[in-house]
Amino acid sequence: MELVCPAGTPAALKVAVDAGAGAVYCGFNDETNARNFPGLNFSREELIAGIALAHRRGVKVLVAINTFPRAGGMGLWRSAVDDATRAGADALILADVGLLDYAANKHPKQRLHVSVQAAAANADSIRFYVENFGVRRVVLPRVLSVPEIAAVTKECGCETEVFVFGGLCVMAEGRCSLSSYATGCSPNMQGACSPASHVNYRQERGKMVSRLGEFTINSFAKGEPAAYPTLCKGRFATNGALGYIFEDPTSLDAAAMLPGLKEAGVSALKIEGRQRGRAYIEAVVHAFRQALKALDAGRPIETASLSALTEGQTTTVGAYRKTWR
């Protein structure tokens, strides 16, 4: 299974390559990708250089152009498709149907992947992309169990890629409106969930209070770790009790599920975290490369302790093992 690793910057791309990535995914420094944060992503020149570096090491580069274009603003997204193709990207990761149509017709030899932002979670919807745009791979939303992934992989007509580590979202990808409700900036269009320009921290009565736009998201006692204020992972008072209403701050770690995912026919394993630093990328990529070596050799997988790099210092296998059913 191909190990697909995040690269939010040129330096992170090099770290991912050195740590054992089979492929890296990245995006341009504009709103065409779903990690549009200040200081992240690639200029056109940086992408060309990054692809050249990766290819010298036998590593693929996948370019995420996975937000949804504004009405009347398709030009920016089409330019991203053209520029990534000219730069030698091994695949483009797209979500918008109109943009997939453009890429398939303008660049018929370019390999196309369906982004998780499209939320294509069943064989019928995936075959639509395969039959109409020649898509070669789909990134599955983090809502399916391993048996469900096996069934989809068998029937969908293309490769499947699944997340194995990193942040989780309470919503089916591509369907979230919480951040845009609070800030006016849509993660699915402008590419930034809880954009930094709307985040505010301040001290109130001995506590650190975090806010997103007009909304108080959380408050932390002295010495308590203060998480980044995303609305779905806020702590709120309801019915006289204080707690995480939508989702606890925790991260996916599916290292223990690798044998089942391999048996399910999954082609690629994705690590989330283009907004994370080089130390995170080096540790997580290295750990999963070692896990895959053990799997291929028939040895037990020794799961590394990566809890220090997770949200809330806790992990879950999420929907892969639906224990609530």
The SS3 assignment for 81 reads: helix
**Residues 45 and 188 grouped into a single domain:** no
Residue 325 lies in a domain: no
Residue 160 belongs to what domain range?
A: 2-168+250-320
Instruction: Kindly report whether the global pTM for this prediction surpasses the value 0.85.
Output: yes
Residue 218, domain member (yes or no): yes
Flag whether 173 is in a domain: no
> Which of 23-37, 115-129, 192-206, 279-293 has the weakest average pLDDT?
192-206
Does 95 reside within a domain? yes
Widest pairwise Cα distance in the chain: 61
Q: Looking at the structure, do residues 158 and 87 belong to the same domain, yes or no?
A: yes
| Residue 109 and residue 77 in one domain | yes
What the block records as the tokens of 307 is 């809890």
The answer on pLDDT for 324 being more than 70 is no
How many structural domains is the chain composed of? 2
Could you say which of 197, 221, 244 is where a domain stops? 244
Q: How confident is the model at residue 278 (pLDDT cuts 50, 70, 90)?
A: very high
Do residues 65 and 162 both lie within one domain? yes
Confidence of residue 196 (pLDDT cuts 50, 70, 90): confident
pLDDT at 55: 98
Give the integer Cα–Cα distance in Å for 229 and 292.
Answer: 34
Same domain, 212 and 130: no
Task: Find the CATH number of the domain harbouring 129.
Answer: 3.20.20.70
Q: Is residue 287 in a domain?
A: yes
Q: Both 129 and 228 in a single domain?
A: no
Q: Mark which of 201, 222, 244 sits at the end of a domain.
A: 244
So what's the pLDDT on residue 247?
82
Same domain, 240 and 279: no
Residue 26 has pLDDT above 90, yes or no: yes
In a domain, 163, yes or no: yes
131 and 23: one domain?
yes
Q: Of the residues 227, 244, 261, which one is the last residue of a structural domain? A: 244
Query: Token pair for residue 74?
Result: 């398709």
Chain segment 240-263, per-residue pLDDT in tens: 888 888 888 889 999 999 999 999
- Whether residue 195 contacts residue 75, with contact meaning beta carbons closer than 8 Å, is answered with no
226 with 310, same domain?
A: no
Taking a C-beta distance cutoff of 8 angstroms, is the pair 295, 301 a contact? yes
Question: What is the DSSP code string of 84-118?
Answer: HHHHT-SEEEE--HHHHHHHHHH-TTS-EEE-GGG
Whether residues 111 and 260 share a domain: the answer is: yes
Chain Cα centroid distance, residue 159: 17
Q: Is position 93 within any domain?
A: yes
User: Which one-letter amino acid corresponds to residue 12?
Assistant: A
| Domain co-membership, 194 together with 257 | no
What is the tens place of the pLDDT at every residue in 297-307? 999 998 777 88
Query: Between β-strands 215-220 and 207-212, what pairing exists: parallel, antiparallel or unpaired?
Result: antiparallel
Q: Which of 137, 139, 60, 133 is nearest to 99 (CA)?
A: 133
Query: CA dist 315 to 19, 37, 50, 250, 312, Å?
Result: 22, 25, 31, 5, 8
pLDDT tens, position by position, 122-177: 999 999 999 999 999 999 999 999 999 999 999 999 999 999 999 887 767 777 78
Computed over every residue of the chain, the mean pLDDT equals 93
Rounded Cα gap, residues 104 and 128, in angstroms:
14
**104 closest CA partner among 66, 129, 71, 133:** 133
Are 185 and 163 in a shared domain?
Answer: no
Within-domain flag for 277 = yes
**CA 227, CA 242: separation in Å to the nearest integer?**
16
